[in-house]
Chains A and B, each alone.
Chain A
Amino acid sequence: MCLAIPARIVEVDGAVALVELDGIRRKINVAMVPDAVAGDYVLVHAGFAIEKWTAAQAEETYALLREMQGNPDGVTPAPETRRGA
């Protein structure tokens, strides 16, 4: 149940933010990361951002995920260069 994933903030409106991960967008609550702005990465658990990440920190997780997908060199475009569908 403690699953949490890093996602990139597209826009913030008060306590609500639109985030994107792999082209999927959804609204989450960012009340616990009050200084988060568009472009930041956040760790999302059950609809709430629980921590802010730098792009480099998020990339570490994405790199580990790519390694497990048998794609360690990251042929998949890095998330920050990806555009949402």
Chain B
Amino acid sequence: MIPVREALEQIRAATVGLTERAQFMEVCGTHTAAFFRSGLRGLLPLNVRLLSGPGCPVCVTPVGFVDQAVALAQQKQAIITTFGDMLRVPGSDVSLEQARATGAAVRMVYSPEDALALAEKTPAREVVFLGVGFETTAPGVAWTIKEARRKNVRNFSVLCAHKTMPQAMRALLVAGDVRIHGFICPGHVSVITGAGLFSFIPKEYKIPCVVSGFEAGDLAAAVAMLLRQRNEGRAELEIQYRRCVYMEGSAPALALLDEVFEPADVAWRGLGVIPGSGLALRAEFAAWDAERKFPGLTLPAPREPAGCRCGDVLRGVCLPPDCPLFRRRCSPTTPVGSCMVSSEGACAAWFKYGGTMDGVEDNMRNPSAGG
């Protein structure tokens, strides 16, 4: 492990004389937040540009999912349990937080196990957990569903919107509407799946990939590694986050995922329906699948907010300040799009850290760097 300062020196040395601006995408929302919070983003040279990718789970969850959760609370009197970030995502009509203000039962939990414990404590009420998140989060949800079956807890179910990373990255590359010179790949997804999950990117698309950790020193080192690959004309999969990522993943976690879930075609905000990019509960767990358990909900026609460019932000096509609503109608207190709600959303990070010092925003936007 090298100190941040040393990694920054390597980055500076590697970018001297770079004729074309290097555009790297940090796929994971937790990386986006860490780049901003640590100040690292503003310290990068002008000819390195970071784009945020589709790896903020709350951001990519489509509006119809929020509508379903709200309908379960209002029409089936279910207690909705969720990680906190989902509460304020606008639905077509209302967010879960707004539904709660008018009497719906919505509770924030730290772990899916907390939701199961609540179901056991309140047997007269249906408890629905919102399954949102990538490969990092889904195994714990799988374990909880198995535990509900083992204990025969019948008033617990999961409304499943789990997604998997690689197909979304492939969809971005196939669409080809943004130029990416390297990916900073998600570290904790890789703990579960193994870094090998991303090997198709250098192999098929000749784009360098580095699996990174989450501290400033990790991220700076990952950027330096991507630049080195670029300068040496290599496109390989490298692991910066060696203290917990290997080419193979976690066998117990992968077994849980495979036992409880199967791949499904699911909709992503901004990317549309991507084949095989989601996880659905297998038929034998139908009794714990909120989708199957509560058919016939009355749902509004899904309506994305007019003017919101979350979809373009999630594909790296534009930066948050390019959206006409950013910092005007859309702010963390009155979010219009999901990327402004989640603390890991690109818009929320830009709002919080992007314009606080003169020049910082310009530095991050790199208008003079061309390309």
What is the minimal beta-carbon distance from B216 to any residue of chain A, in angstroms?
A: 5
- Interface-forming stretch among B13-21, B69-77, B105-113, B313-321? B105-113
Report if A75 contacts B (CB, 8 A): no
Cα distance A67–B3 when bound, in Å?
8
Interface size class of B (residues with CB under 8 A): 35 or more
A1 near B85 (CB under 8 angstroms)? yes
What is the minimal beta-carbon distance from A16 to any residue of chain B, in angstroms?
A: 9
Report if A43 contacts B (CB, 8 A): yes
- In the complex, what residue of chain B is closest to A49 when comparing beta carbons? B140
B139 near A50 (CB under 8 angstroms)? yes
Interface majority SS (helix, strand, loop, mixed), chain A: mixed
Report if B182 contacts A (CB, 8 A): no
Among A3, A33, A46, A47: residue with most chain B CB under 10 A: A46
Report if A65 contacts B (CB, 8 A): yes
What is the minimal beta-carbon distance from B130 to any residue of chain A, in angstroms?
A: 12
| In the complex, number of A-B residue pairs with CB atoms less than 8 Å apart | 111
Hey, which chain B residues are within 8 Å of A67, CB to CB? 3-4, 216-217
Interface string of A67-84 (1 = CB under 8 A from B): 110001000000000000
The one of B56, B113, B217 that contacts A47, using a Cβ cutoff of 8 Å? B113
Hey, which chain A residues are within 8 Å of B134, CB to CB? 1-2
Report if B332 contacts A (CB, 8 A): no
Cα distance A4–B140 when bound, in Å?
13
Interface string of A25-63 (1 = CB under 8 A from B): 000110111100000000101111011010001001101
A32 near B253 (CB under 8 angstroms)? yes
Hey, which chain A residues are within 8 Å of B63, CB to CB? none
A72 near B113 (CB under 8 angstroms)? no
The one of A29, A32, A34, A65 that contacts B215, using a Cβ cutoff of 8 Å? A65
* CB interface residues, B 198-257, toward A, < 8 Å: 213-218, 243-244, 250, 252-253, 256
Cα distance A3–B32 when bound, in Å?
12
The one of B28, B139, B143, B217 that contacts A2, using a Cβ cutoff of 8 Å? B28
Hey, which chain A residues are within 8 Å of B83, CB to CB? 1, 46
* CB interface residues, B 23-62, toward A, < 8 Å: 28-30, 38, 55-58
- In the complex, what residue of chain B is closest to A4 when comparing beta carbons? B188
The one of A4, A28, A32 that contacts B256, using a Cβ cutoff of 8 Å? A32
What is the minimal beta-carbon distance from B160 to any residue of chain A, in angstroms?
A: 15
Among B132, B134, B192: residue with most chain A CB under 10 A: B192
Cα distance A50–B256 when bound, in Å?
12
Hey, which chain A residues are within 8 Å of B188, CB to CB? 2-4, 43, 45, 50
CB-CB nearest 6 A-B residue pairs: A47-B111, A64-B215, A48-B140, A57-B243, A64-B217, A2-B188
B interface residues (Cβ-Cβ under 8 A, vs A):
1, 3-4, 28-30, 38, 55-58, 83, 85, 110-114, 132-134, 136-137, 139-140, 143, 186-189, 191-192, 213-218, 243-244, 250, 252-253, 256, 342, 344
A interface residues (Cβ-Cβ under 8 A, vs B):
1-4, 28-29, 31-34, 43, 45-48, 50-51, 53, 57, 60-61, 63-65, 67-68, 72
